[in-house]
Amino acid sequence: MDRIVECVPNFSEGRDMRVIESILEEIRSVHDVVLLDHAPDQSHNRVVVTFAGEPAAVEEAAFRAAKKASELVDMEKHHGEHPRIGATDVVPFVPVRGATIADCVEMARRVGARIAAELNIPVYLYAEAASRPDRRRLPDIRRGEYEGLKSTIGEPERRPDFGEPRMHPSAGATVVGARRFLVAFNANLNTPDVKVASAIAKAVRESSGGLVSVQAKGVFIKEKNLAQVTMNLLDHERTPMHRVLEMVRAEARRHGVEIVGTEIIGLLPLSALLNSALWYLQVDGFSINQVLDLAIQK
């Protein structure tokens, strides 16, 4: 596959495995889509599903899954600890390869319009696909949750982006959007002093004057008896892993501390690692077609 988009929808069912399996089956039924993970949570009573593939196929799989969830999940009977407004609660599209965030915004708009038109579910656009600044963040859209939104959806500032301002009687409302791939990257230090990790985190993260699109905090890792700078890279293309790591290293040296190792949590796009390989190896004039494994998969 030349072009890859990831989709990480949340559905409001974390207990009935038959319902979850039926939703997963819809995703598996689409060619050129691979189901990568699903994490049901009983106390939150929701499941986070991860799948990826060719953009048009991912778009179709997202719609089919939302349709199935609207048939099987009844929000009138739903209880769980996690905030939610609908059976298909949120559907983010994430660019991985050969697709831009703008492509994912378009996917979100198309799927959102289709969910509203074909399933009669009101849809809100969020994150990079948001139509208004106050809809960029999920908590703002989820305010009042399913139960509260039933009465407030008619208010001007709560009108959905697609569909009538009227909750679906059992499936509620759905949030659809586009966001960048989040790379979870942690650096372990040769000190147990969490104050050093916190000082480094403060220097590195966007919120206190560091690198844009980087979130960071210092934590103590008991099993290893060392301090760690735990980070989220929210835009690894603009602020790549190597730049973040070298800044952590520079700040650590200020404290006479070294990085003993790093961890990558969960999935990441191949490009994140390749970009750092080419930077550290100082390679000029490289084409991705020089990678044999990729050249034969064209």
Interaction site with its own copies (CB under 8 A): 1, 4, 6, 34, 36, 52-53, 96-97, 187-188, 241-242, 245, 259-264, 266-270, 273-274, 276-278, 280-286, 290-298
Nearer to its own copies, 154 or 261 (CB): 261
- 3 state SS of 24: helix
Residue 31: active-site member: no
- 3 state SS of 17: helix
Nearer to its own copies, 88 or 188 (CB): 188
- Residue 123 contacts by C-beta under 8 Å, 6 or more apart in sequence? 112, 113, 115, 116, 160, 161, 162, 163, 173, 174, 175, 176
| Interatomic CA distance for residues 83 and 85, integer angstroms | 7
Could you tell me the smallest distance in angstroms from the CB atom of residue 248 to its own copies?
Answer: 10
Burial 124-162 (b: 16+ CB within 10 A, else e): bbbbbbbeeeebbebeebbeebbeebbeebeeeebebbb
Could you tell me the smallest distance in angstroms from the CB atom of residue 285 to its own copies?
Answer: 6
Could you tell me the smallest distance in angstroms from the CB atom of residue 184 to its own copies?
Answer: 10
Nearer to its own copies, 87 or 241 (CB): 241
Nearer to its own copies, 42 or 290 (CB): 290
Could you tell me the smallest distance in angstroms from the CB atom of residue 3 to its own copies?
Answer: 11
- DSSP track, 153-197: TTSGGG--SBS-SS-BTTTB-EEEEE-PPPEEEEEEES---HHHH
Could you tell me the smallest distance in angstroms from the CB atom of residue 280 to its own copies?
Answer: 4
Nearer to its own copies, 102 or 280 (CB): 280
| Interatomic CA distance for residues 137 and 159, integer angstroms | 16
31, 79, 82, 168: which one is catalytic? Answer: 82
User: What amino acid is encoded at 12 in this protein?
Assistant: S
- Residues tagged active-site: 82
